Amino acid sequence: MPDLLILCPDTDLLLQLEPLGRQLSFRVKSTTEQQVAESWLELRKFDLALMHTSIPLPVQERLADLLWKRNLAARLLLVGFEPDDPRAPAARLFGAEVVRGQDLISELTQILQAFKPQPRVNEKQHHILVVEDLDSPRDIICILIESMGYVHVHGRGSAAEALATLEEEPQKYTCVITDIRMPEMNGVELIRKVRATQSMSHIPVVVLTAFGTSDWLIECLKAGASGFLIKPPRKDDLARELGRPTRIFSHGLDPRLVKEDDLEALQRILEERGFV
pLDDT digit string, tens, across residues 159-214 = 999 999 999 999 999 999 999 989 989 999 999 999 999 999 999 999 998 755 67
> Mean pLDDT, the chain, as a whole number?
90
Return the CATH number at 223.
3.40.50.2300
Q: 3-24: per-residue pLDDT in tens? A: 999 999 999 999 999 999 999 9
Query: Could you tell me which residues are beta bridge partners of residue 30?
Result: 6
Q: Which of 114, 140, 161 is the last residue of a domain?
A: 114
Cβ-contact 55, 77 below 8 angstroms: no
Q: Is 91's pLDDT higher than 60?
A: yes
Q: Specify the pLDDT at position 187.
A: 92
Do residue 136 and residue 255 come from a single domain? yes
pLDDT at 211: 57
At residue 275, the pLDDT reads 64
Domain boundary among 114, 133, 153: 114
Q: The whole model's pTM is what?
A: 0.88
Do residues 108 and 154 both lie within one domain? Answer: no
Indicate if 133 and 152 belong to the same structural domain: yes
Contacts of residue 43, defined as CB under 8 A and 6 or more positions apart, other chains included, come to none
Q: Is the same domain home to 128 and 231?
A: yes
Q: What are phi and psi of 144, to 5 degrees?
A: -60, -45
What is the structure's pLDDT at 93? Answer: 84
Residue 2 pLDDT greater than 80, yes or no: yes
Residues 183, 221, single domain; the answer is: yes
* Same domain as 178, residue 127: yes
Which of 114, 139, 173 lies at the terminal end of a domain, its last residue? 114
What range does the domain containing 14 cover?
Answer: 3-114
Summarised one tens digit per residue, pLDDT across range 246-273 is 899 889 899 999 887 778 777 788 777 7
Q: For 80-105, what is the mean pLDDT? A: 81
99 with 79, same domain?
yes
